[in-house]
Amino acid sequence: MFGRVAVCSIAALLLVSPRFSGGETNAFAGVDAPAINMLVAAPHDQDPDQISDQIPDQTQDRAHDDTLAPAHIAALDPAEPSIESPANAGPAIQSPISAEPFGLNTEQVATGEVLTKWNGVEADIRAENDILALCRTNPAQCPPAARNFLAIVAQGRAHTGRARIGIINRAFNLAIRPMSDLAQWGVLDRWSAPLETLTTGRGDCEDYAIAKYVALTQAGVAAEDVRLVIVHDLAVDENHAVVATRLNGDWIILDNRWLTLVKDSEMPRMVPLFALDQTGVRLLLPKAAPDVRRASAPCENAACEPASF
């Protein structure tokens, strides 16, 4: 049912050594590809913040993930995106226009598991860009996942502003079936580039977020106006990955758990941890928030084990 909350699995080490660094990110290997699920995207004449009554009501298996071990991001169980906005998260907090999501200062991260994960997925994204370039010059050689990704990008590019953001958020939320890394890959944490995610048709929150991050930049949103953000969601006491994109001075949050677009100032129960973009990884410095970076989430499922690398 769409009323259920969709969540994800991230197992990333958070006890990093934040310091300023001007170095470039490292690169490693690209991706492989099996069969693709069909893309479901919003029609051009539909408000991307609204959900059609014709969306099929599907029941998806919930894969039980591992909970948070000390110094790791908690694991979340995936489910379907909600038709509703997170209106019950709390009252909106008014904040001034900021260069970063949630109005926070940052410090560059020079080492740690989050940076290692991001360096790896950036290398995979560059490898997939070669596939996309081939698709543009030789469509006959274009794999189905790449065609679907380019279709989403083209549909987003045909719009501007909030409509562009909403179309991309909706398209990936409906094109990807939520599934934990443990259920899909047999490992606790694996970050996938967009074409790999669309090839399997499955992913968890960081996979949705990575796909949206890349699609937004390819659809014409300036790279400096897009962030992949890791947060701690106090409403469920779990960690989560979303995308933030700047629009008219506000940061808009794209979340795989719902289709409505929400400002960062309207999500007071999210504690921001890291911002990731083309410049690397930055630690979002809390103003006065719980120290969730070093907190351990209780293992409430009898089958769960501590998350680790």
pTM of the model: 0.70
Write a three-state SS string for 72-98: ECCECCCCCCECCCCHHHCCCCCCCCC
Owning domain of residue 107: 87-294
Q: What is the pLDDT of residue 136?
A: 92
Whose tokens are 């300023």? That residue is 20
What CATH number is associated with residue 277? 3.10.620.30
Q: Could you tell me which of 212, 192, 223, 194 has the C-alpha nearest to residue 261?
A: 212
Residue 216 lies in a domain: yes
Q: What is the pLDDT of residue 82?
A: 58
Q: Could you tell me which of 239, 238, 233, 237 has the C-alpha nearest to residue 270?
A: 233
Residue 161 lies in a domain: yes
Residue 5 lies in a domain: no
CA distances from 1 to 59, 96, 184 (A): 6, 37, 21
Helix (H) or strand (E) holding 241: strand 238-247
Q: What is the pLDDT of residue 144?
A: 97
Burial of 140 (0-12, 13-18, 19+ CB in 10 A): exposed
Residue 301 lies in a domain: no
Q: What is the pLDDT of residue 275?
A: 98
Calculate the CA dihedral of residues 164, 228, 251, 109 and round it to 10 degrees.
-150
DSSP state of 153: H
Residue 92 lies in a domain: yes
35: tokens are: 């069969």
Q: What is the pLDDT of residue 8?
A: 62
Count of domains observed in the chain = 1
User: Going by C-beta distance under 8 Å and a sequence separation of 6 or more, which residues neighbour residue 56?
Assistant: none
Walk along the chain (309 residues) and give the pLDDT tens digit of each residue.
333 344 565 653 343 334 433 333 332 233 333 333 333 333 334 444 443 333 333 333 333 333 333 333 333 334 456 555 565 444 444 444 568 999 999 999 999 999 999 999 999 999 999 999 999 999 999 999 999 999 999 999 999 999 999 999 999 999 999 999 999 999 999 999 999 999 999 999 999 999 999 999 999 999 999 999 999 999 999 999 999 999 999 999 999 999 999 999 999 999 999 999 999 999 999 875 455 554 434 333 333 333 332
CB 199: neighbour CB atoms within 10 A? 23
Q: What is the pLDDT of residue 120?
A: 98
Q: Are 293 and 14 in contact (CB under 8 A)?
A: yes
Residue 154 lies in a domain: yes
Strand-strand pairing, 177-178 and 202-203: parallel
Residue 81 lies in a domain: no
Residue type (1 letter), 259: L
218: tokens are: 């390819």
CA distances from 285 to 115, 134, 168, 225, 227 (A): 16, 41, 29, 19, 15
> Which strands sit side by side in the sheet containing 250-254, from one edge to the other?
106-108, 280-284, 270-277, 226-233, 238-247, 250-254, 262-263
Q: What is the pLDDT of residue 10?
A: 66
Instruction: Give phi and psi for 116, each to the nearest 5.
Output: -60, -45
Residue 69 lies in a domain: no
